[in-house]
């Protein structure tokens, strides 16, 4: 490494250590320790952009996300090298905790569940440096309803074991927010028969999407399933009881929105289902149409 390149790298490291946050138009996320900025992009033009809300799968022989929403938006992104870090799970855990305070996590995946790493790196984010073995990647997307911001984080570990993280903000034009999110949720429910719920209050777009689907399928059954790892000193039985209480609170919100009580069933399964996307707590709404 020549002296000029080394000096630039140390200058970037000192700057990032001093600021220690990722600043976008509406949010500031803490930086992962020893982050080095390798690329930054700002696309201020308002155009129709895709926000990915599901894993990558082959659909009619073409690789596509299982769920996505198109929004009129601007977009900003930063890509970082994480000096000395070797754990994708540790990095995504850090950003999950950071993003959870800004909005509802709509989807996340880890490892092979995310699909093609090459597609994420080269097609979705257009950052080839993110490409690596598919078992060493993670993605999460959150939405802040009040500001209309989608925050996405993708973590990729290369074959050299170096880890890079891409943080992207999509800022939606205000008048399109509600209708686009509502449409995306409706599509996910009708095509995938499930939707990962926010951990706290259900927002208006989600409730309206559920009512839209129920109007089209008036004989449908809705099932709320909540899982969570055991807390300290908690038994399996008490963990199931706690998650059942959480499921009942979600059911109450659905009933208040207008779903008939006889169509909504709840289950609290505690730790009795393994986390499939790296998270400890997960709430899902399932649509049963048969």
Same domain assignment for residues 13 and 113: yes
Q: How confident is the model at residue 156 (pLDDT cuts 50, 70, 90)?
A: very high
pLDDT digit string (tens) for 190-249? 888 888 887 667 888 889 999 999 999 999 999 999 988 888 888 999 999 999 999 999
* Interval 160-178 mean pLDDT: 83
Same domain assignment for residues 7 and 63: yes
Q: Is residue 188 part of a domain?
A: no
pLDDT digit string (tens) for 77-120? 999 999 999 999 999 999 998 887 778 888 899 999 999 999 99
Strands (E) in 31-115, as ranges, are: 35-52, 56-59, 62-65, 68-82, 104-110
Same domain assignment for residues 9 and 129: yes
Same domain assignment for residues 40 and 147: yes
The total of structural domains in the chain comes to: 2
Instruction: Confirm if 154 and 125 have CB atoms less than 8 A apart.
Output: yes
Q: Is residue 181 part of a domain?
A: no
* Interval 1-30 mean pLDDT: 50
Tokens at 47, concatenated: 């155009």
* Structural domain boundaries enclosing 223: 193-288
Q: Is residue 233 part of a domain?
A: yes
- Using CB atoms within 10 Å of the CB of residue 216, give its burial: 0 to 12 exposed, 13 to 18 middle, 19+ buried: exposed
The whole model's pTM is what? 0.59
């Amino acid at each position: 490494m020549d002296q000029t390149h080394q000096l630039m790298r140390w200058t970037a490291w000192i700057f990032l250590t001093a600021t220690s946050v990722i600043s976008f138009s509406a949010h500031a996320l803490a930086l992962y320790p020893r982050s080095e900025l390798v690329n930054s992009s700002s696309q201020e033009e308002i155009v129709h952009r895709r926000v990915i809300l599901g894993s990558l799968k082959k659909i009619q022989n073409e690789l596509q996300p299982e769920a996505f929403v198109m929004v009129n938006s601007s977009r900003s992104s930063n890509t970082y090298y994480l000096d000395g870090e070797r754990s994708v799970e540790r990095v995504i855990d850090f950003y999950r905790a950071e993003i959870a305070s800004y909005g509802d996590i709509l989807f996340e995946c880890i490892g092979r569940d995310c699909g093609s790493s090459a597609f994420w790196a080269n097609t979705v984010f257009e950052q080839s440096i993110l490409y690596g073995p598919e078992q060493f990647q993670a993605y999460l997307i959150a939405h802040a309803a009040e500001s209309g911001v989608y925050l996405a984080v993708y973590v990729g570990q290369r074959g050299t074991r170096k880890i890079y993280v891409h943080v992207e903000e999509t800022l939606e034009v205000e008048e399109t927010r509600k209708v686009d999110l509502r449409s995306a949720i409706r599509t996910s429910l009708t095509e995938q028969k499930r939707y990962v719920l926010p951990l706290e209050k259900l927002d208006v777009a989600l409730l309206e999407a559920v009512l839209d689907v129920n109007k089209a399928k008036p004989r449908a059954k809705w099932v709320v399933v909540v899982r969570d790892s055991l807390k300290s000193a908690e038994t399996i039985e008490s963990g199931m009881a706690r998650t059942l209480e959480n499921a009942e609170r979600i059911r109450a919100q659905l009933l208040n929105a207008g779903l008939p009580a006889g169509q909504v069933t709840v289950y609290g399964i505690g730790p009795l289902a393994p986390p499939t996307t790296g998270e400890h707590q997960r709430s899902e709404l399932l649509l049963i149409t048969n």
